[in-house]
Amino acid sequence: MTRRTNLYTVATLDPTFLSATELLDELRGKRISSSELLEHYLDRVERHNPDVNAVVTLDTERAREQAAAADDARSRGEDLGPLHGLPITIKDALETQGLRTTCGAEFLAAHVPAKDATAVKRLRDAGAVIFGKTNTPTMAADGQAYNTLFGTTNNPWDFERSPGGSSGGSAAALAAGLTSLELGSDISGSVRIPADYCGVYGHKPSYGLIPLRGHIPGPPGSLVEADMNVLGPLARSADDLELALDVMAGPDEARATAWRLELPPARHSNLSEYRLAVWLDDEACPVERELVDILRGAVDALSDAGAQITERPAPVPLEEAWRTHRALLMGVASAGLSDDDFAGLSGFAGSAPPDAEETVALLHARWLVQSKRDWNFVHDARTRAKAAWADFFQDFDAFLCPVACCAAPPHDQSPDMEARVIEVNGETRPYWDQVCWIAYAGAAELPAVSAPVGTTAAGLPVGLQIVAPYLEDRTAIDVARRAADVIGGFVAPPRFRTEQLGATA
């Protein structure tokens, strides 16, 4: 690797697991160059990606040109933006100009967009060097990161387990030290759950905060903004989440004619001022007891550090939240059904008697073929939930709860997702229970952060979900930041901790 005389020696700096914020400080201080940092990540992808399978497409030569240009600009005293020269990767569901974007679908294997997704362009315009794409399930429609085009992404903490989905490749790449910052998407926990399972940070912004143009699904070229779907960063620190949010948030070109964005600051400047409501288990979706104990320890640490903790449930019952969220989610998913599939599901849902057992398959069938009249009732429930949360946040600054009911489960690629199961407290639960606790923020369009707070006895990460008031994203991020000061933040998976810059595996 070519080195400049004004940089530290190889042994001085290991950038692998530094946060993006720390890496930008190193770049600005000329202690490492963009080209050197890019080569470091490319080397790690070459050595470690065969095991993790998180990065599925590289843009090596163009990234090298852009990194060199960023270094030259810095040498001239030019500032390219807040991400000047930072090498990053992007979930393969976001269109990238000149770089294939497949969303894990074979029919998109040769899709090379002519322009960037709006959020991707904002990252580039801020100086980021995009060097690759990360894995996602086919059309982002699974709770893991597996597809027939690129195969399975493994969790860096345990290769036999899922990294979560659908931004599983994003979270796995960060945890394994293959990239510095990621852009994912979240309609059903697809940022928060992978962040939880892989031990990194993930932010689901308030709905509508970051433009969705260029996200797949819908189909390439779609101008429709899917209900509940958001784009959000994954990172190795809470500071990085805010850094990326500031770059990407704001109205799209059409709305910018009149709209301006001015997100309020975090509600408080120290932990002792925060009023935090906490709910760590619920019979509507039981949580693994070991996870509850770990989360309880994190909450107790926050309390000991001065936070005002109140044990109380959310203003919307969990079962009501997940049913509302799931009905809205299936309403979005129905747009991708073929006529034959829609007819088959309509027949299945219509033939079930009113008192039939509400299996996952039956509920999903009913919601996939729901009428606009039915959807209106669900939308009313969502609107009432938003109002209830707004009242709730008059008394509390944030709501703390689990991200998921379990730690990362083993891989399961059985084709019938409705029939899959997970194990919680020794009992079999539906696979879809993984996306119950994320429903609070999803259905009510609230910002939420997944922050790592510990590991299980088996060495699997556990995350705490921090839900904040609508458009008060900085409050959610700030609570995560202050929690890291008390509890500790990102920790690299054991098998990846010992390497130093320039060392061989």
Q: Which residues are catalytic?
A: 91, 166, 190
Q: Which residues contact 310 (CB under 8 A, 6 or more apart)?
A: 275, 276, 277, 278, 396
Question: How far does CA 471 lie from the centroid of its chain?
Answer: 18
| Residue spans of beta strands (DSSP E) within 243-336 | 275-278, 308-311
With CA atoms as reference, report the closest residue to 215 among 95, 131, 299: 95
Q: Which two tokens stand for residue 45?
A: 């992808």
Contact 337, 200 (CB under 8 A): no
Number of Cβ atoms within 10 Å of the Cβ of 428:
8
What's the residue count for the chain? 505
Q: Which amino acid is at 138?
A: T
Contact 275, 396 (CB under 8 A): yes
List, in sequence order, the alpha helices (H) in 337-472: 339-351, 360-368, 372-392, 439-444
Contact 161, 455 (CB under 8 A): no
Using the Cα atoms of residue 109, residue 114, residue 116 and residue 121 in order, give the sign of their dihedral: positive
SS3 content of the chain, % helix, strand, coil (to 5): 40, 15, 45
Contact 134, 169 (CB under 8 A): yes
Residue 175 to residue 38: CA distance in whole angstroms? 17
Residue located via tokens 């301006």: 260
Residue 11 Cα distances to 14, 16, 492, 504, angstroms: 7, 13, 19, 13
Longest dimension (CA), the chain: 77
Using the Cα atoms of residue 126, residue 72, residue 115 and residue 110 in order, give the sign of their dihedral: negative
Residue 334 to residue 313: CA distance in whole angstroms? 32
Contact 102, 90 (CB under 8 A): no
In this structure, the dihedral spanned by the alpha carbons of residues 479, 481, 487 and 492, taken in order and rounded to 10 degrees, is 130
Residue 73 to residue 85: CA distance in whole angstroms? 9
Residue located via tokens 């928060």: 192
Q: Give the containing element (helix H, strand E) for 171.
A: helix 168-175
